[in-house]
């Protein structure tokens, strides 16, 4: 029976996170937190309700938050399920309360990345417009 990543994480962490645990956590959790399927996203977000896991995450927040921040932001902005949005807001607040400076740094990096993505999209659109104009002129 496959219990999923959430079940592994809930029982897999001992008294401290070792390098393998952190690697598994940061490489799987953002994919599940931002997952469009409500059940998977909820399971991943429910991990944050476990005090033991929260303590371990707090000890490793400088590694975990930068990796998971984008998934959290995308959930807040666009996830279709209200329960997932609420859980995501709770996790964001937990990280913000835990380390305001780190949270703001991740937020700034995310905003810079989104600005670059938007700029790239605008350039791509402009290139297509130029190609379409060139094709029309050639006809």
**Three-state SS letters, the chain:** CCCHHHHHHHHHCCCCCCHHHHHHHHHHHHHHHCCCCHHHHHHHHHHHHCHHHHHHHHHCHHHHHHHHHHHHHHHHHHCCCHHHHHHHHHHHHHHHHHCHHHHHHHHHHHHHHHHHHHHHHHHHHHHHHHHHHHHHHHC
Per-residue pLDDT tens over the stretch 45-100: 888 888 998 999 999 999 999 999 999 999 899 888 888 889 999 999 999 999 99
Identify the band that residue 38 occupies on the pLDDT scale cut at 50, 70 and 90.
confident
26 near 63, Cβ under 8 Å?
yes
Residue from 120, 121, 32 nearest 74 by CA:
32
Q: Give mean pLDDT, residues 4-13.
A: 40
Average pLDDT of every residue of the chain:
80
Per-residue pLDDT tens over the stretch 121-138: 999 999 999 999 999 997
Return the pLDDT at 69: 95
As a whole-number percent, the residues of the chain with pLDDT over 70 amount to 73
pTM of the complete model beyond 0.85:
no
Q: Is the pLDDT of residue 139 over 80?
A: no
Least confident of 2-6, 12-16, 41-45, 59-63: 2-6
Return the pLDDT at 32: 52
């Amino acid at each position: 029976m496959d219990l999923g990543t959430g079940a592994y994480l809930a029982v897999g962490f001992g008294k401290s996170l070792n390098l393998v645990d952190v690697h598994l956590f940061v490489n799987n959790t953002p994919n599940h937190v931002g997952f469009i399927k409500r059940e998977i996203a909820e399971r991943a977000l429910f991990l944050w309700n476990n005090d033991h896991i929260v303590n371990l995450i707090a000890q490793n927040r400088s590694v975990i938050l930068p990796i998971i921040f984008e998934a959290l932001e995308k959930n807040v902005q666009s996830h279709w399920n209200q329960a997932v949005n609420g859980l995501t807001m709770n996790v964001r607040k937990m990280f913000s309360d835990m380390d305001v400076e780190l949270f703001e740094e991740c937020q700034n990096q995310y905003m810079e990345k989104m600005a670059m993505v938007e700029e790239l999209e605008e350039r791509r659109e402009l290139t297509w417009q130029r190609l379409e104009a060139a094709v029309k002129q050639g006809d």
